[in-house]
């Protein structure tokens, strides 16, 4: 549309701004306040916001309602996005109970698992279905996003089935890398891997201090 170029780094921060603006009760917000609360640079906040909202004015800050609206528009959460979860183990169940998805415009439609005996463990109204039903279900409901939350051994097979189902964007919550078609976008969010990264960061920053 507008040909604006949103950088990856900026994109990754937009949801944070969204959350913050929602939580705040004031009519007007300044970049300084956002920066302080989110632990970011003041200029960075302005630059990020400038790429989605032009309503900021000197001495007064951004109007919260306008900023909120613009953020939601850019993030595309005005109309909710349908998502499936693959894997009904503990992690999948945790995701089912999580209310954080709705706030960000996601609607969890269904959970798929090989083991349909887990039905009684699941307390929500979201249906649990067998893996083999996934392709037809996703295609029928026009679902293009999915969360991979199976055990390591099943990761690649499940990923293949997601590809067969027409999933175009996968959040991989496994710690395995999976091979997917080029048309599918993958973002890895593995807790153990993140923990390893955090440790390495802490480790190396300590070394620098001691240096």
Partner DNA sequence: GACTTATCGATATGGTATTATCGATATCTA
Partner DNA sequence: TAGATATCGATAATACCATATCGATAAGTC
User: CA–CA separation, 85 vs 96, rounded Å?
Assistant: 8
The CB-of-75 to a second copy minimum distance in angstroms stands at 5
DSSP tag of 61: B
21 is an interface residue for DNA by CB under 7 A: no
Among 16, 24, 38, 40, binds DNA (CB under 7 A): 40
Gyration radius of the chain over CA positions: 20
Secondary structure class of 27 (helix, strand, coil): coil
Among 22, 26, 27, 57, binds DNA (CB under 7 A): 57
Instruction: Return the number of the residue (2 or 8) whose C-beta is nearest DNA.
Output: 8
Q: Which of residues 147-186 bind a second copy (CB under 8 A)?
A: 147, 152, 168-169, 171, 173, 175-177, 179, 185
In Å, how far are 5, 29, 65, 76, 94 from 69, measured between CA atoms?
Answer: 19, 14, 6, 10, 30
Among 11, 32, 50, 157, binds a second copy (CB under 8 A): 11
Which one of DNA, a second copy, none is in contact with 60 (Cβ closer than 5 to 8 A by kind)?
DNA
Angle between helix axes 155-164 and 134-141 (nearest 10 degrees) is 40
Report phi then psi at 129, rounded to 5. Answer: -130, 165
41 is an interface residue for DNA by CB under 7 A: yes
Would strands 28-29 and 81-86 be described as parallel, antiparallel, or unpaired?
Answer: unpaired
The CB-of-97 to DNA minimum distance in angstroms stands at 32
Distance of CA 2 to the CA centre of its chain: 24
Residues that bind a second copy (CB under 8 A): 1, 3, 6, 8, 11-12, 14-16, 18-20, 37-39, 74-77, 81, 83, 89-91, 93-95, 97-101, 103-106, 145, 147, 152, 168-169, 171, 173, 175-177, 179, 185, 187, 189-205, 207, 211
């Amino acid at each position: 549309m507008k040909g604006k170029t949103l950088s990856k780094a900026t994109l990754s921060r937009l949801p944070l701004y969204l959350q913050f603006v929602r939580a705040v009760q004031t009519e007007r917000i300044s970049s300084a306040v956002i920066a302080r609360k989110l632990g970011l640079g003041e200029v960075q906040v302005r630059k990020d916001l400038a790429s989605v909202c032009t309503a900021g004015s000197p001495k007064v800050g951004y109007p919260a309602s306008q900023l909120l609206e613009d953020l939601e528009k850019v993030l595309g959460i005005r109309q909710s996005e349908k998502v499936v979860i693959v894997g009904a183990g503990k992690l999948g169940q945790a995701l089912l109970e999580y209310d954080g998805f709705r706030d960000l415009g996601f609607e969890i439609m269904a959970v798929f698992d090989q083991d349909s005996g887990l039905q009684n463990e699941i307390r929500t109204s979201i249906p649990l279905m067998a893996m083999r039903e996934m392709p037809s279900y996703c295609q029928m409901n026009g679902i293009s996003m999915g969360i991979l939350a199976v055990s390591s051994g099943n990761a690649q097979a499940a990923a293949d089935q997601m590809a067969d189902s027409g999933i175009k964007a996968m959040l991989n919550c496994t710690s395995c890398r999976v091979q997917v078609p080029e048309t599918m976008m993958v973002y890895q969010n593995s807790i153990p891997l993140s923990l390893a990264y955090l440790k390495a960061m802490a480790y190396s920053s300590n070394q620098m201090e001691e240096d």
